[in-house]
Amino acid sequence: MQRLKWIAAHAVIAVLLAGCSPVKSLFPLFTKDDAYFDGNLVGEWKATQDKNQSGDPDSASVNERWVFLKSKDSFSYDCSQIELGKKGSVQSTARLVRLGHDLFVDFGPGPQYPEGASDMSFPEVDAHVFARIWVEKDEVNIHFLDGKWTWDQINAGKFQLPFVEAPGDFVLTANTQELRKFVEQHTADKDAFSDNYRLIRVK
């Protein structure tokens, strides 16, 4: 599928999400006790093709950049997604969550219009999206909980979490503890966490 584009009031801006949108949740994956911080994530990253995907790795999002900065609270990140040559950005607040031996990331809303009318907060409502994440020195891999997989599970009567439907979309209503249990159960499920992004550090 083509990379999803969000339209701000006065500009078309590139967003991090490819294909079907990752699953949104009313509640975060993190608790007040989660304060894990990896300084290696700080910096500017170039989006490229995931290693497991076919096609030219340099053909996908050559102008897409993700920027992670340390937030004022010292344990979260101010995350911006931009596309070189285009106005505007997508702003999120990212929190790392370690569950057992695995690392996850929760993206929540960033500031609304932090620099001007062409900037927007992602997600647009007070919601969260989460993913597995692997942080290395010069490479980051992010695997979001996939919307299509979740729809398929719902339609098959196999999905375990409560949710509400909206026209053409749905939102998880599970609480944080239910979400944490769910992701731990599906950590190794490559179909569930199949909305993949590979980022290479810009030097």
DSSP string computed for 97-152: EEETTEEEEEEEE--SSSSSTT-EESSSSS-BEEEEEEE-SSEEEEEEPPHHHHHH
Confidence of residue 109 (pLDDT cuts 50, 70, 90): confident
Instruction: Indicate the pTM of the whole model.
Output: 0.80
Q: What is the average pLDDT across 165-194?
A: 93
The C-alpha atoms of residue 50 and residue 31 are separated, in whole angstroms, by: 30
128-173, pLDDT tens digit by residue?
Answer: 999 999 999 999 999 999 999 999 999 999 999 999 987 778 999 9
40-53, pLDDT tens digit by residue?
Answer: 999 999 998 665 54
The C-alpha atoms of residue 193 and residue 41 are separated, in whole angstroms, by: 20
